[in-house]
């Protein structure tokens, strides 16, 4: 009996810690990799499941042109923050910007509900160090589901790997965003609810409401955004064309590039990850790079790292004629 009680106590504590991690991610020590650590932490991922189920609320709130427009804009703004800043800036340092803009886009990126900028960048740097080899957090060689979602739902990849990001960890504002990564998504969802409520009162012709903008602008938009981002870890290592003989399975895929504002040129990116652009040729549409270029003309970002001509031509896979 005594054993049973102590077992109950241990599982209750473990459940409490998992729930606490919804609010404060530092309630966890890094987990050593083991088979068990690769299992899904169910208590921790409840919010992720609820996020998906709550999209069913579209059946109650209905739809309007305003709601769809806000949903699309919310997707585009946050996808830009993820691809241009979480990925190209924080993970790869592919350009420079001011500390204020660094924080602003860390905030917008955090509203995408893909954890904090430090967690994101640290895992991504590990991905490039070990792409599709032992140590890669999300290689499709371990299964497509693992590469898409399994990896970040597991205990092994919950904590931020600080040793990957010493250059970013020195900013207290970024550490705060990373630790309390639920705060910005909650504020963003609340702001959309507020916007819808105001529009409902001052512009009834727009036919929207607080609940409708919360559901379309945050819930639906966020779920699509998360899965679109994840396709780069899963599908872009499986489907598409390989231009460069990189040591991984990365592919170039136009459809994924359109969906993710330029990230689909993933084989290009693995060939030369340090560049601000991922479409290496003019016909490879890379919306995030075009926006970064426009921002550089305004002096908001600078030192966009180019792809040297020699690098662009090197190690191309020649099609035999
Ligand atoms: Zn990759
Ligand atoms: Zn990358």
Q: What is the pLDDT of residues 35-56, one digit of tens each?
A: 556 777 777 788 899 999 999 9
Distance CA 301, CA 97 (A): 5
192-202 pLDDT per residue, tens: 999 999 999 99
The mean pLDDT of 241-269, rounded to a whole number, is: 97
Is a pLDDT exceeding 50 seen at residue 321? Answer: no
Is a pLDDT exceeding 90 seen at residue 289? Answer: yes
Q: Which residues pair with 146 in a beta bridge?
A: none
Ligand 2 centre distance from Cα of residue 90 (Å): 10
Three-state secondary structure readout of 84-109: HHHHHHHHCCCCEECHHHHHHHHHHH
Q: CA 114, 120, 122: angle at the middle one, nearest 5? A: 165
CA-based R_g, the chain, Å: 21
Distance CA 156, CA 164 (A): 15
Q: Which two tokens stand for residue 213?
A: 């903008």
The mean pLDDT of 284-311, rounded to a whole number, is: 97
Q: What is the mean pLDDT of the chain?
A: 92
Q: What is the band of 139 on the pLDDT scale with cuts at 50, 70, 90?
A: very high
Ligand 2 centre distance from Cα of residue 88 (Å): 7
Query: What does the pLDDT read at residue 6?
Result: 61
Q: Which residues of 177-198 are buried (b: 16+ CB within 10 A; e: fewer)?
A: bbbbbbebbeebbeebbebbbe
Q: Which two tokens stand for residue 259?
A: 């969906």
Ligand 1 centre distance from Cα of residue 317 (Å): 18
From 252, 249, 246, 281, select the one nearest 265 (Cα to Cα).
252
Ligand 1 centre distance from Cα of residue 144 (Å): 13
Ligand 2 centre distance from Cα of residue 172 (Å): 24
Distance CA 291, CA 23 (A): 34
Query: What does the pLDDT read at residue 1?
Result: 44
Ligand 1 centre distance from Cα of residue 210 (Å): 38
Ligand 1 centre distance from Cα of residue 80 (Å): 18
Ligand 2 centre distance from Cα of residue 273 (Å): 6
Ligand 1 centre distance from Cα of residue 186 (Å): 30
Ligand 2 centre distance from Cα of residue 184 (Å): 24
User: Long-range contacts: 132-137, Cβ < 8 Å, 24+?
Assistant: 132/237, 132/247, 132/248, 132/249, 132/250, 133/247, 133/248
Contact indicator for 81, 112 with CB cutoff of 8 Å: yes
Ligand 2 centre distance from Cα of residue 269 (Å): 6
Distance CA 179, CA 84 (A): 22
Q: Cα 146 vs. chain centroid, distance in angstroms?
A: 16
Residues at Cβ < 5 Å from ligand 2 ion: 273
Query: What does the pLDDT read at residue 177?
Result: 96
In the three-class reduction of DSSP (H, G, I as helix; E, B as strand; rest coil), residue 296 is classed as helix
In terms of pLDDT, which residue wins out, 226 or 18? 226
Query: What does the pLDDT read at residue 297?
Result: 98
Q: Torsion over CA of 284, 287, 288 and 291, rounded to 10 degrees?
A: 120
Task: Report pTM.
Answer: 0.91
CA of 315: how far to CAs of 236, 254, 278, 309, in Å? 19, 21, 16, 12
From 94, 109, 152, select the one nearest 127 (Cα to Cα).
152
> pLDDT over 70 for what percent of the chain?
93
Ligand 2 centre distance from Cα of residue 125 (Å): 7
From 49, 65, 50, select the one nearest 216 (Cα to Cα).
65
Q: Which residues of 287-321 are buried (b: 16+ CB within 10 A; e: fewer)?
A: bbbebbeebbeeeebeebbebeeeebeeeeeeeee
The number of the ligand nearest the C-alpha atom of 276 reads: 2
Q: At what angle do helices 221-230 and 65-80 cross, to 10 degrees?
A: 40
């Amino acid at each position: 009996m005594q054993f049973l009680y102590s077992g109950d106590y241990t599982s209750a504590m473990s459940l409490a810690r998992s729930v606490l991690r919804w609010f404060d991610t530092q309630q966890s020590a890094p987990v050593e990799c083991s088979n068990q650590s690769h299992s899904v932490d169910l208590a921790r991922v409840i919010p992720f499941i609820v996020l998906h189920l709550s999209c069913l609320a579209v059946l109650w709130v209905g739809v309007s042109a305003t709601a769809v427009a806000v949903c699309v804009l919310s997707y585009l703004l946050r996808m830009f923050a993820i691809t241009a800043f979480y990925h190209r800036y924080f993970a790869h340092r592919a350009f420079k910007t001011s500390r204020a803009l660094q924080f602003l886009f860390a905030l917008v990126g955090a509203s995408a509900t893909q954890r904090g900028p430090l967690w994101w960048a640290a895992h991504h740097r590990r991905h490039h160090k070990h792409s599709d080899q032992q140590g890669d957090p999300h290689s499709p060689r371990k299964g497509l589901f693992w590469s898409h979602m399994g990896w970040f739902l597991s205990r092994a990849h919950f904590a931020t790997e600080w040793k990957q990001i010493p250059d970013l960890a020195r900013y207290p504002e970024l550490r705060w965003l990373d630790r309390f990564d639920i705060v910005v998504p909650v504020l963003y969802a609340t702001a959309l609810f507020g916007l819808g409520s105001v529009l409902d009162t001052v512009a009834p012709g727009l036919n929207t409401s607080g609940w409708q903008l919360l559901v379309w602008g945050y819930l639906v938009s966020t779920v699509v955004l998360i899965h679109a981002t994840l396709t780069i870890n899963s599908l872009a290592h499986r489907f598409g064309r390989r231009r460069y003989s990189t040591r991984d399975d990365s592919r170039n895929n136009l459809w994924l590039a359109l969906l993710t504002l330029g990230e689909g040129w993933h084989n290009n990116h693995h060939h030369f990850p340090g560049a601000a652009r991922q479409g290496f040729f003019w016909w490879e549409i890379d919306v995030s790079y075009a926006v970064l270029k426009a921002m550089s003309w305004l002096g908001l970002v600078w030192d966009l790292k180019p792809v040297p001509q020699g690098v662009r031509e090197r190690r191309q896979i020649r099609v035999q004629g």
